[in-house]
Amino acid sequence: MRVYSVGEINRYLRELLEANAVLADLWVSGEVSNFSESAAGHLYFTLKDESSQLRCVFFRPKTAVDLENGTAVMAHGRVSLYEVSGALQLYVDLVQPEGVGLLHLEFERLKAKLEEEGLFEPARKRPLPAYPRRIGVVTSPTGAVLHDIVSIITRRYPLVEIVLSPTQVQGDGAVGGIVNAIAALDNTEGIDVIIVARGGGSIEDLWAFNEEKVARAIYGSRSPVISGVGHDTDFTIADFVADVRAPTPSAAAELAVPDRADLQAQVQSLTQALGSGLTRYLALFRQRLDELTRTVSTCLTGSLAISHERLRARELELASLSPLGTLRRGYALVQQSSTGAVVSRLEQVQRGDTIDVKVSDGQFRSRVTGSKKGLQGWMNSLPSSKP
């Protein structure tokens, strides 16, 4: 047996209270009394009902709180012990007027909390794969939702495998079931996208999708998540945290896969582009071929003309070299009549020799009557050397 100090017992009690999960996060409804506000801005009050009272403290509310004695409120916070006075207190972090509805209050509280943590950040949303191969579906294995999802995907894009991760979607086991179902898909190879879906219902029916554990499971999943919960007017925390929010389960299925009809049209237009691409190519090659053919024949004609010209020049050259040409220019060929030897020097003839003189159109016979050495003064009378 030992004796405890007051401080020891109070610390022990505080630790005991703070270790309790229910007391760490709870809503309490009651009527406000003994309301007071400290100079530092802290609010002190008591919540009471017909038979009991609970001391409350609200440290420096971030937003203005409209409290007065007699107001019926719901306060959210944690219960602990103030060691200094030994008082059991509710440490309040949120106060709402009674009548707003607990679920609504809880929804707004969790939404604000997760938003501040960054779970809804647009920058964090992951894009959906354009052509998924394996689609995980977290929903009830029976009922209209799975049937709708299967029939929509069958119609739009049956190239996929649907991997159903079955779970209860309402009731006590729903939260754990959804969390486990997402985890099971995360442990399955090749899941490209996950649809988390549930049909329409009351806010209580959909409540599992407003639970923090489900929100964190969606946020933590390896594959991008499409939420399709309830009708298009229902917004759940799961919708805010999902990578894509679909208004309904059917819409989630449509967002998950492309439409086969669109793809067929796309393939059709690509086929046409292929045909016109080749046609254009062939036309280009044909055009180049035509151009080349034209160029070749132009070159050929040109080179023929050049050859003609050169031929004509050669002919002229030949003509000018022929002895006949020379004779036409006025020169004469002299031969000894007796021997036929061509006379090119004085010594080849004697006075009295008969010689034959050939000119351009015939010949005549002459006799040598005299000679004289040298050609001085005679050059000027020569016929032009030009043809």
Partner 1 sequence: MDEQLTFEQALERLEKIVLALQDGGLTLEESIALYEEGMGLARICNERLNAADLKITQLQTEFGQAPQNGDEPLP
Residues at the site binding partner 1, with contacts judged by CB under 8 A: 130-131, 133, 139-145, 150, 153-154, 157-171, 173, 177, 180-181, 184-185, 188, 198-199, 201-202, 205, 260, 263-264, 266-267, 270-271, 273-275, 277-278, 280-282, 284-285
Instruction: Give CA 222 to chain center in angstroms.
Output: 21
**Dihedral angle, C-alpha 360, 365, 369, 373, nearest 10 °:** 40
Which of 282/306 has CB closer to partner 1? Answer: 282
Question: What would the two tokens of residue 78 be?
Answer: 């944690």
Separation of alpha carbons 192 and 135, rounded Å: 6
Question: What would the two tokens of residue 31 be?
Answer: 């009527």
Question: What would the two tokens of residue 95 be?
Answer: 């106060």
**Residue 41 three-state SS:** coil
Q: How far is the CB of 291 from partner 1 (least distance, A)?
A: 15
Q: How far is the CB of 124 from partner 1 (least distance, A)?
A: 26
Q: How far is the CB of 212 from partner 1 (least distance, A)?
A: 21
DSSP state of 127: P
Q: How far is the CB of 32 from partner 1 (least distance, A)?
A: 36
Which of 144/296 has CB closer to partner 1? Answer: 144
Q: How far is the CB of 272 from partner 1 (least distance, A)?
A: 9
If we measure between CA atoms, which residue out of 306, 93, 113 comes closest to residue 215? 113
161: left (phi over 0), alpha (psi -120 to 50) or beta: beta
The answer to whether the CB of 47 falls within 8 A of the CB of 67 is: no
Which of 144/324 has CB closer to partner 1? Answer: 144
In the chain, alpha helices (H): 6-18, 21-24, 102-117, 144-156, 174-186, 212-220, 237-241, 249-256, 260-321, 323-328
Q: How far is the CB of 121 from partner 1 (least distance, A)?
A: 29
Separation of alpha carbons 239 and 229, rounded Å: 8
Which of 204/347 has CB closer to partner 1? Answer: 204
Separation of alpha carbons 205 and 145, rounded Å: 15
Which of 61/201 has CB closer to partner 1? Answer: 201
Which of 41/141 has CB closer to partner 1? Answer: 141
The answer to whether the CB of 132 falls within 8 A of the CB of 126 is: no
Q: How far is the CB of 198 from partner 1 (least distance, A)?
A: 6
Which of 96/250 has CB closer to partner 1? Answer: 250
